[in-house]
Amino acid sequence: MLKVILVASGKGGTGKTSLTAGVGAALAQAGQRVLLIDGDCGLRNLDIVLGMSDRVVYSFADVAGGAVMLCDAMARHPVYENLYLLTAPVALPALSERGMEQLAVQAEEAAFDYLLIDGPAGLPAELSWLAHISTQAIIVTATDRACIRGAERCARKLEEEYCIQRIRMVLNRVRPQMICRGQSANIDDAMDEAGLPLLGLVPEDEDLIVCGNSGNSILSVKRSGASHAFQNIARRLEGERVPLMKI
């Protein structure tokens, strides 16, 4: 059965797009069929991080609006053959709940196992269309307190207004020395403040920035901490019990 997961955050720049690309590739590498949607209307960049800018023509709004079928609109990743992308429209489109439902139905009919939505930052109006078809959410946050408060606010809205029951948090850009020195929230504090269970920890990793710029997958970088973290998160989404990585 198709799992539809919204990747969201309170503040911007927390690592949603990097996580969507990395976890999507990890799931595809493990044999799952994965459709990624760039839900950041007007600010799309998932195609750049995936190295697919030359492949995207249609947006998810074209499919939700009935202008084109999903199978004709989605673009296949050049390396991971189970990984597909539907980009975001350049301007905020007129969407409907029914159109978004039709998109999810087409993803199910195309035998996708996962639909991962790279959401916009914060709580803009278009979040409601993306949340409408989502059954789970991953809130990505950095370890600073302002960002964690934003994560908490975003999670409550997804839970209360859009009835998403399964919401978990990923702590990104974790820097152990700052935690040891008490300069950023530790993991227990972060979970308490956000009121969310932890899906994973992702360390600060320069390779992620390099790969994001070149369009190469972080999974191709041996010994990358972020790559390891994304693979662990993919395994947890699959229901495996994977211990937290030592950072």
Ligand X SMILES: Nc1ncnc2c1ncn2[C@@H]1O[C@H](COP(=O)(O)OP(=O)(O)O)[C@@H](O)[C@H]1O
Question: Which residues contact ligand X by CB under 6 A?
Answer: 9, 12-18, 172-173, 202, 204-205, 208-209, 212, 226
Chain centre distance of CA 11: 14
Considering CB distances under 5 to 8 angstroms, the limit depending on partner class, which of Mg ion, ligand X, none binds residue 43?
Answer: none
Nearer to ligand X, 68 or 187 (CB): 187
Q: Which residues contact 188 (CB under 8 A, 6 or more apart)?
A: none
- Please state the closest distance from residue 71 (CB atom) to ligand X, in A: 27
Nearer to ligand X, 32 or 172 (CB): 172
- Please state the closest distance from residue 56 (CB atom) to Mg ion, in A: 15
Q: Which two tokens stand for residue 46?
A: 């998932």
Considering CB distances under 5 to 8 angstroms, the limit depending on partner class, which of ligand X, Mg ion, none binds residue 212?
Answer: ligand X
Q: What is the dihedral of CA 159, 161, 164, 168, to 10 degrees?
A: -40
| Rounded to 5°, angle at Cα 217 from 4 and 25 | 25
- Please state the closest distance from residue 175 (CB atom) to ligand X, in A: 9
150, with CB counted inside 10 A (0-12, 13-18, 19+), is buried
Q: Which residue is nearest to Mg ion (CB)?
A: 17
Question: What spatial distance separates the first Cα and last Cα of the chain, rounded to whole Å?
Answer: 34
Q: Residue by residue, what is the 3-state secondary structure of 132-171?
A: HCCCEEEEEECCCHHHHHHHHHHHHHHHHCCCCCEEEEEE
- Please state the closest distance from residue 49 (CB atom) to Mg ion, in A: 8
The interface region with Mg ion, picked from 12-20, 133-141, 178-186, 191-199 by CB under 5 A, is 12-20
Name which of residues 30 to 69 contact Mg ion (CB under 5 A).
none
Q: Which of 17, 87, 184, 231 binds Mg ion (CB under 5 A)?
A: 17
Considering CB distances under 5 to 8 angstroms, the limit depending on partner class, which of Mg ion, ligand X, none binds residue 18?
Answer: ligand X
**Cβ atoms 13, 212 nearer than 8 A:** no
Residue 18 as a binder of Mg ion (CB under 5 A): the answer is no
- Please state the closest distance from residue 190 (CB atom) to ligand X, in A: 15
Nearer to ligand X, 100 or 154 (CB): 154
* Number of neighbours of residue 197 by Cβ within 10 angstroms: 10
The interface region with Mg ion, picked from 15-23, 52-60, 143-151, 219-227 by CB under 5 A, is 15-23
Nearer to ligand X, 9 or 217 (CB): 9
- Torsions phi, psi for 164 (to 5 deg): -85, 120
- Please state the closest distance from residue 23 (CB atom) to ligand X, in A: 12
Q: What Å distances lie between residue 228 and 9, 88, 117, 153, 224, CA to CA?
A: 22, 28, 21, 29, 6
Residues that bind Mg ion (CB under 5 A): 16-17
